[in-house]
Chains A and B, each alone.
Chain A
Amino acid sequence: MTITAEPSAQVSTVSVTIDGHELTVPEGTTIWTAAKDAGIDIPVLCHDERYDPVGVCRVCVVETGGRVYAAACVRPCDDGMEVTTTSEEIDSARATLTELLVADQPAPEVDPKQTTTGDNLLLELADVFGVGSGNLPTASGRGTDHSNPVIAVDHDSCILCDRCVRACDDIQGNDVIGRSGKGYSTKIAFDLDDPMGSSSCVTCGECVAACPTGALTNKPINEVPIRPRTELDAVDTVCPYCGVGCALTFYVDRERAAISFAEGRAQPGSKGRLCVKGRYGWDYAASPQRLTTPLIRVDSAYPKGPLSGDVVGDSDGAQGGRSGKRRKPGGLVPYDEVLPHFREATWDEALDLVADRLGGILAEHGNGSLAGFGSAKCSNEEAYLFQKLVRTGFRNNNIDHCTRLCHASSVAALFEGIGSGAVSTTYGDVLNSDVAIITGSNATANHPVASSFFKQARRRGTTIIYIDPRAGKVADHADIYVQIKPGTDVAFYNAVMHEIIRLDLVDSDFVANRTSNFDALAATVALYPPERAEQITGISADVIRQVARVWGEANAGVIFWGMGISQHTTGTDNSRCLIALCAITGNVGKPGAGLHPLRGQNNVQGASDSGLIPMYLPDYQSVSGDDVRGKFEAAWGTELDPTNGLTVTEIIGSVLTGGVRGMYMMGENPFLSDPNINKVRKALSALDFLVVQDIFLTETAEFADVILPATSYLEKDGTYTNTDRRVQLGRKVMDPPGQARPDWQVTRDIANRLGLGWSYESPREIFEEMVPLMPSYTNLSYDNLGSTGKLYPNSDPEHTDGTVVMFDERFNTGDGLAHLVPAEWLPARELPSDEFPLVLNTGRLLEHWHTGSMTRRSYALDSIAPRAEVYLHPADAAEIGVRDGEMAQVRSRRGTITLNVKVSQREARGNCFIPFHFREAAANLLTNDEIDPVGKIPEYKFCAVSVQPVAEAGV
């Protein structure tokens, strides 16, 4: 079954008369919708067009000639039906219904909605009908629930409209809220009538957005009161967290210079949805710990080394640390330990010093001596300027960013295979898919809003196949869940393709006309019969055959993947398999089909597009291409280095061998995010000069010579490109704190001190320079991005949203064909042993972002997920002798950390999982810095560890 968003061509219609208006509407149209389209307004409480109707409040009742009234919201128009939407009797019934509900409501002056956003729909309706509670007996005392840190529940205000139930289930697919009890004592309840805060609720806030009364309201964050929207300044912008790039609106209290609350905003991709991070996780920008003044390392803090206890680390002992004291687990960089080693400076002094030192190193050690790490959190314009600085000012291509650590291998495989690193279709296109494979992706945690579309698609008939070593929540929503052994993806997909070829489910026309190298692929996968793959992957041959059949028989299939595919030493091979799987079944270039690597950072797509990659100038134009270089040399007025620069991990290695000596880091925190922290620590200490530009004091900043205070996304304009290729405008919401400056200004000012003569005055000006150099962005401009952004490529952004499905005729490769690249399965680099018997997987939590510098300063997010945990299968925990909540020591060949145990049904036996957000138990002290030979991405998803009870480990 394929569901298209377009209505089918042939729809039969019915004729209906509503209040004397004769209307012809498609069969199945409800009376309410027909009336609305005819300009007739029928009041509602439970109905909201965002949700399918339930018809429970009955306020929309109309006369249709029956014995009783009909609920217009749910009743379809019958042919010849005569409808009266208003009369004295109908209005009287509506007024009585309103009165019945008002009788049990809190008084307006204490109503949780009236006293915050002030838009209680029931009270508005009561005003319309001029009713209060009348002489009806009133009731209260049905209880409140304040257990969630940011959402308040008031059962007295609840009218049981089921909007929250539908929002939670049908929109977000979280399935937490329902009706409990019966009759007059019915109430909404979470899970088994648990407190909201201890239920499985993920605090996405969709229920709050749905609630028409004061039953579910936002609590103030950091004591900034929530006020009516009309009293606040609404700023439309984009969420700063993940690559889904949800559109949102901040309501800003200008008197308090603070955000009051955030709401999702309609946009073709995210459709107004948000997750907990987007809706509640913005207060970090108002943290008192923001850097507000340039800082220069004091003389006594040399020779350089880490400054805080945690960053000193175990493996090095205490010799590098200055404080000498061990900190207890928890929290952020301890400012009191680090700041005494810096002094405040003026911008001029700091920038002069930066330019002087970087320029000095360049002069002394030559073109290979400098490098820069840009950030996928910054805007396209900032990424563009940063890489331009490195290429034209540092005179090399040593520019990289965290995409190296996430999808570099996917991008490498995609370029090789189809000539483009971007997604071939949007996440929302899943609604058109017969089958979707989600693999190596904990989408409910890492791309929550995209996952809501996956869940919704399943409810509409899409078969979901989830392939992942961890049984994340996506597994709960999968038709087929494949708990593959870590690091065996190539074997699995080769076997699936083996079976597809054996069953003759190959799309021969597509293979013949749109691909090359099929025979080589077929020869390789022939070596992987399901029985052999079963030995490697731990998945029964029958399940492999089932997956092959379901995928092969589908008319449209899409693959979504995440870091579980890419962050392996075989990451490029893993992606090659996914590309081949789509290509041999013709599943690219048509609705509901394609390849979608789910992008991690809000702007990892855009930062990569803009050129924060050592091999590519903006828009993936190779630095070694003479024509390309010529174009950029002409535009930038300088000569460019034709050799590929070093990648993130290579730069760290180069520092240790005396290659790179000076670095500029914009918004990156490699100390926590890069593998093998002990190695990173040595490298950072060894740098001659390091300037760190960030909004907080990061672990990396402890090694800095100069720290520059930057702006958060809330404090500047710029464009961001999401996982769908949607370029959106982020708008300035607040002024920067103290002397903090937008990153693009800082980069510009350093460039000018290096003699580059830049005159940019606005992000718009930078964007206008970028677009002519970036063919994919052709036609886009600040004037036509609009409030919801535009997808690229886009032939007419004034009138269309852009291209959803790419490659419908040819691929972006030289010959226009998809290049099939066979891959042989290789084991991970470091396999479990007697000493290190468990496989460690690392990743993220729903509530936290990467190194935690943002989310651990968010009241909501840090309250919900405050501590580091190692997730263990119950049997492993029992064997090790640790119980849920106890402390354990986790050790690898590279480091040791101590953290709490979480016994989890979601882990497979022999595997454990640690989120890497927590500096006090930094997972990347353990991880392996072995890299994929093509994508140069580290193997974050696989290393061997041991777990011991703390007592036995002698800590």
Chain B
Amino acid sequence: MSGAGGESWPPVPGVEARNGKFPGPSLIPALNAIQERVGWLPREELAALSHDTRRPLYEIQGLVSYYPHYRTEAPPPVALHVCHDLSCWLLGSDERIAELRERYGGEADVEFVEVSCLGRCDNAPALAVNDVPGHVDDAADLLAAARVRRAEGEQVEAAHRDQPWPNDPYASGEQRYRVLRSLLGGDLDAEQVVQRLQDSGLRGLGGAGFPTGKKWELVAAQDNHPKYAICNADESEPGTFKDRQVLNDQAHLVLEGLLLGMAVVGAEEGYVFVRHEYGPEADVMRDEIERVRADGLLGDDVLGSGVRLHVEVFVSPGGYILGEESALIECMEGHRGEPRNKPPFPGVFGLWGKPTLMNSVETFADVPVIVERGAQWWQDQGVGDSIGLKFFAVSGQVARPGVYCVPMGTTSRQLLDQAGGVAGGADLAAVQPGGASSNFLGPDSLDVPLDFDTLAEAGSMLGSGALVVLAEGTDVLAAATNTLRFFRNESCGKCVPCRVGSHKAHEMLTAALAGDGLDDAAEEQLLELERTVRMTSICGLGQVALGPVASVLGLQRGGAVVDPKPRG
């Protein structure tokens, strides 16, 4: 990857001072190389890197202190990372973490860390030993394996679903990438692709729901080259793991969607930005890229079309915030992954200040489906006014957690039924329909169709497509506080409201949960904090951080709809 942020003078209006601060290539590959070689980042190596690259020491400090991947001390050989976020918490992670800490925390070769969501909520409470994911019950086996594997360097493979998914236009054994071939072969043109997307009504499934056809049209219209395309495979919100499954089982659709996007908007370089916890899935994507390259669909002149297409996997150095599109771009440029003030948006001013097409995994995967099967087919898949198929990750206190592909507009109740209902046949206390950032909905909202507008009307959102199930008896305020802790921990710290507001609110709630609960004044203060943090934060993380808490507190405020059930 190349590029130089320093070329962007005079700045595009709205581009803030720090943008493009460090001209020259990203130092992240160099840092990764040192860590790969030494196992961590010794000071002397960092000083030498600074000297050799003529880049400021503080730039390096900013990176290594920001990204959890980087170690500035020699770590113990075995890293035991245990998730403490909502889906795992609902299944008793607090107690299990205490047990594991008791058992392994003192072992000299083990580094025991409580971490944010690992994206393995279907196998909760989840952990990872040296990045190999598993269930807390597997801790002993994984530790033993880690101690052996360190010597042998064995690879872990992702588990695939054996049944085909209903969206896939390619039958088993059939030649894939038909749509891409048509586009490059001239049987289909870029305008037609955009038109079909627009006709289909597809909206981005990363959370914001921006119309995909419109985004592609906008980026295609930019007269500023080179352009870039990025597949955002950095879903990291508690309860969210459907993109993991899509990557795993339908990497061909994701990659075809990305390549179509590149061909349509005129980007020659594309990236799949994948969270580092998805190591096995990243390998699936790498294999897919190599397969496609072997088929001649990547290169300087793909299929003789004159089109140049290159794709590589970029593994995140860690942090939920990188799922925010501008933070992701900052990371890829080698900066601290802090969201930019917007506008300008990435479609105009993205990677290296160039127009950049960014969609999430599921959105890209939908593109070949829609172009191949037609906009009308896609529209017909939805229930009622809803359109298309939608992947949901179902987790928490549910009988059969996992990823489900259902028609958009399916209700929470129907989805919950497919997943076998509340675990142990218990009554339902609440759901989060769209991941940790979505407001809680009570049992009386179970028949709300799962779709952008219907959930918004009900006071929540489709969010990241993650239905988290809370059984009767769960302290919902504590659950909301758990989600707040996640956002507090994952806040980049760039802007005041999110950095300080999420922390202070979490302190207040933690004290309340441990003590006498919230009095009216404290509740009022939390609601004012929620409003301020929502209205003033730079990015979506801050804007939603206190939402779930407020939704629990805010019955009568028209927000959402759950009885607050503080402990004690």
Q: Min CB distance, A908 to chain B, in Å?
A: 16
Smallest CB–CB gap between A51 and chain B, Å?
6
CB-based contact A137/B6 at 8 Å: no
For A54, what are the chain B residues with a Cβ–Cβ distance below 8 Å?
16-18, 341
Question: Would you call A76 an interface residue if the criterion is a C-beta within 8 Å of the partner chain's C-beta atoms?
Answer: yes
Contacts of B9 in A (CB 8 A): 3, 459-461
A74-B16 contact given A137-B504, A181-B493, A459-B9, CB 8 Å threshold: yes
A184-B58 CB under 8 A given contacts A58-B536, A68-B537, A192-B46: no
Closest residue of chain B to A1, judged by CB? Answer: B9
A residues near B508, Cβ cutoff 8 Å: 136-137
Enumerate chain B residues within 8 angstroms of A92, measured Cβ to Cβ: 528, 531-532
CB distance from A344 to the nearest CB of B (A): 54
B531 / chain A contacts, CB cutoff of 8 Å = 89, 92-93
Chain A: minimal CB distance from B179 (Å): 34
Q: Given A137-B504, A178-B58, A189-B58 in contact, is the A183-B65 Cβ separation under 8 Å?
A: no
A135: Cβ under 8 A from any B Cβ: yes
Q: Is the CB of A182 within 8 A of B492?
A: yes
Verify B16–A53 contact, CB threshold 8 A.
Answer: yes
Q: Decide yes or no whether B336 CB sits under 8 A from chain A.
A: yes
Residues A76 and B61 in contact, CB atoms below 8 Å apart: no
Q: Are B525 and A93 in contact (CB under 8 A)?
A: no
Chain A nearest CB: distance from B275 CB in Å? 16
Q: Are B537 and A53 touching (Cβ within 8 A)?
A: no
Contact mask B114-139 → A, CB, 8 Å, 1/0?
00000000000000000000000000
**1/0 contact string of A438-481 vs chain B (CB within 8 Å):** 00000000000000000000011100000000000000100000
Question: Quick check: is B522 within 8 A (CB to CB) of the other chain?
Answer: yes
- The closest CB in chain B to the CB of A174 belongs to B56
Instruction: List B contacts of A199 (CB < 8 A).
Output: 57
Query: CB < 8 Å: which of B51, B490, B502, B504 contacts A136?
Result: B504
A881 lies within 8 A of chain B by Cβ? no
A166 to B16 Cα, complex, angstroms? 11
Question: Once the chains are docked, how many angstroms separate the CA of A74 from the CA of B326?
Answer: 16
Which of chain A's residues 176-196 have a Cβ closer than 8 Å to chain B? 176-186, 189-194
The answer to whether A162 has its CB under 8 Å from any CB of chain B is yes
B215 on the A face (CB < 8 A): no
Q: Are B61 and A193 neighbours in the complex by a CB distance under 8 Å? A: yes
CA distance A101 to B336 in the complex (A): 23
Q: Find out whether the CB atom of B532 lies under 8 angstroms from the CB atom of A97.
A: yes
Q: Quick check: is B194 within 8 A (CB to CB) of the other chain?
A: no
Contacts of A30 in B (CB 8 A): 13
Kindly provide the distance from the CB of B311 to the nearest chain A CB, expressed in whole angstroms. 29
Is the beta-carbon distance between A61 and B535 smaller than 8 angstroms? yes
Task: Tell me whether A191 and B532 are in contact (CB under 8 A).
Answer: no
Of the candidates B496, B500, B528, B536, the one whose C-beta lies within 8 Å of that of A68 is B536
Residues in chain A near residue B84, CB distance under 8 A = none
In-complex Cβ contact of B496 among A58, A135, A905 (8 A): A58
Collect the chain A residues with CB atoms within 8 Å of residue B497's CB. Answer: 58, 96-97, 100
Q: Does A755 contact B (CB under 8 A)?
A: no
- Would you call B380 an interface residue if the criterion is a C-beta within 8 Å of the partner chain's C-beta atoms? no
With A181-B65, A192-B60 known as contacts, the answer to whether A101 contacts B500 (CB < 8 A) is yes
- Distance A96 CA – B501 CA, assembled complex (angstroms): 9
Does A160 lie at the interface of the complex (its beta carbon under 8 Å from any beta carbon of B)? Answer: yes
A192 contacts B16, C-beta separation under 8 Å: no
Measured CA separation A177–B522 after assembly (Å) = 37
B543 proximal to A (CB < 8 A): yes
User: Nearest residue in B to A60 (C-beta to C-beta)?
Assistant: B536
- The answer to whether A136 touches B14, judged by C-beta atoms less than 8 angstroms apart, is no
Q: Does B252 contact A (CB under 8 A)?
A: no
Is residue B11 contacting chain A, with contact meaning CB distance below 8 A?
yes
- The answer to whether A905 touches B51, judged by C-beta atoms less than 8 angstroms apart, is yes
Q: Is A55 an interface residue (CB 8 A)?
A: yes
Using a CB-CB cutoff of 8 Å, which residues 520-568 of chain B contact chain A?
521-522, 525, 528-529, 531-532, 534-538, 543
Report which of A100, A103, A170, A177 forms a contact with B17, defined as CB distance below 8 A: A170
Do residues B16 and A55 form an inter-chain contact, with CB atoms below 8 A?
yes
Name the one of A104, A182, A476 contacting B65, with C-beta atoms under 8 angstroms. Answer: A182
User: Which of B18, B489, B525, B537 is in CB contact (< 8 Å) with A162?
Assistant: B18
Which parts of B311-367 form the interface with A (CB within 8 Å)?
319, 336, 341, 343
Q: A54-B16, A92-B532 are in contact. Are A178 and B66 (CB under 8 A)?
A: no
The CA-CA distance from A30 to B12 in the complex, in Å, is 12
Of A75, A159, A183, A460, which contacts B492 at CB under 8 A?
A: A183
Contacting pair A192 B21 (CB below 8 A) = no
Contact A97–B496 (Cβ < 8 Å): yes
Known: A100-B504, A183-B489, A183-B490. Contact between A160 and B499, CB under 8 A? Answer: yes
A27 and B532 contact, CB distance less than 8 A:
no
In A906-931, the 8 Å CB interface with B consists of none
Query: Does A860 reach chain B (CB closer than 8 Å)?
Result: no
B74 within 8 A of A: no
Identify the closest chain A residue to B507 (Cβ). A137
Binary interface encoding of chain A residues 43-68 relative to chain B, with 1 for a CB under 8 A from any of its CBs, else 0: 00000000111111111010000001
Apart from A52-B11, A96-B528, A159-B496, 5 more pairs, CB < 8 Å: A61-B535, A100-B500, A136-B508, A184-B503, A199-B57
Interchain residue pairs A-B with the least CB separation, the first 6:
A52-B17, A178-B58, A28-B13, A175-B56, A186-B493, A76-B13
Task: Show 30 A/B contacts (Cβ-Cβ < 8 Å), sorted by A.
Answer: A30-B13, A52-B11, A54-B341, A55-B538, A56-B538, A57-B495, A58-B496, A68-B535, A68-B537, A92-B528, A92-B532, A97-B496, A100-B501, A103-B500, A103-B504, A135-B522, A136-B525, A166-B18, A178-B62, A179-B66, A179-B336, A182-B65, A182-B66, A183-B490, A185-B493, A191-B56, A191-B57, A192-B61, A193-B65, A460-B9
